[in-house]
Structures are given as structure tokens and as C-alpha cells.
């Protein structure tokens, strides 16, 4: 009985830790689907505590923070030569990906995104 209880506690602890966000440092690929328009960006993330920054595709920059499995960032980029701001709100899923919604402020449209750590 003791070993069964210990096994259950170990499994519960493993499941809880699998859902905790990992380090953001590294290269991530962010895939967007905004009103049927799909795009991807490669971003190099640098994390300090619960805040982070990144450079995407060599020119766009983002900054954000996370709390638990919730994460938010803002990406400043260009679209047809004009500056745009994209707001990302998401969470870490059980596979370590970041999934959520993205809003393009200048056009008042929303979409979905998935960020995957590059291998």
C-alpha cells in the first residue's frame, strides 16, 4: 500500500512538473494563422527571470513576461512598409509548446499561434 501511494505521488509530481514552463532561452519558431493568412518566424529568445526579449528573423523585436504557464509578449514588426504591433497571449501546453491568440492591433484582427522550440 505504501509503495502504491508513493507511486501515485511520484506520478502526480511528474505530471505537474511537465506542465511547468521551461526555459525560454534558445531559438523558437512561431507559426501564426491570422484570418487564414499563415506565416512563420524564427526568434532567438533571451530570458531573465520571468521576463524575456527576442529578435525574430533578424529585425523584428519582441518583449514579454510569463507567470506560471501563462505568457504574453508584444512583437513590433512591419507590414507592407508600415510598422505594426502584434500582441500574443498564450500558455505552455503539456508538450512544452506555447499556444494562444495573436492580435494585430492596427487591423483589429485576431488569430492563433503556436511556438515550438527549435531542435
Residue ranges and CATH numbers for the domains of the chain are: 2-117 (2.40.128.120)
Q: How far apart are CA 106 and CA 78, in angstroms?
A: 11
- The whole-angstrom distance between residue 52's C-alpha and the CA centroid of its chain comes to 11
Model confidence, pTM: 0.78
Residue 4, pLDDT > 70, answer: no
* Separation of alpha carbons 108 and 118, rounded Å: 30
Which 3 state secondary structure label does DSSP give 2? Answer: helix
What integer pLDDT is reported at residue 22 of this predicted model? 58
Q: Specify the higher pLDDT residue, 10 or 44.
A: 44
- The mean pLDDT of 52-81, rounded to a whole number, is 91
User: What length is written for the chain?
Assistant: 119
Burial 29-41 (b: 16+ CB within 10 A, else e): ebebebeeeeeeb
The continuous run of DSSP H or E covering 110 comes out as strand 109-117
**What local confidence, expressed as pLDDT, does residue 35 receive?**
94
Contacts of 97 (CB under 8 A, 6+ apart): 114, 115, 116, 117
Amino acid at each position: 500500500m505504501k509503495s502504491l501511494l508513493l507511486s501515485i505521488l511520484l506520478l502526480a509530481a511528474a505530471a505537474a512538473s511537465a506542465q511547468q514552463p521551461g526555459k525560454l532561452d534558445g531559438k523558437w519558431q512561431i507559426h501564426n494563422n491570422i484570418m487564414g493568412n499563415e506565416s512563420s518566424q524564427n526568434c532567438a529568445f533571451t530570458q531573465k527571470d520571468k521576463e524575456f526579449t527576442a529578435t525574430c528573423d533578424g529585425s523584428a523585436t519582441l518583449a514579454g513576461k510569463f507567470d506560471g504557464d501563462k505568457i504574453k509578449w508584444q512583437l513590433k514588426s512591419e507590414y507592407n512598409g508600415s510598422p505594426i504591433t502584434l500582441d500574443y497571449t498564450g500558455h505552455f501546453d503539456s508538450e512544452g509548446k506555447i499556444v494562444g491568440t495573436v492580435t494585430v492591433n492596427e487591423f483589429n484582427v485576431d488569430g492563433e499561434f503556436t511556438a515550438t522550440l527549435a531542435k
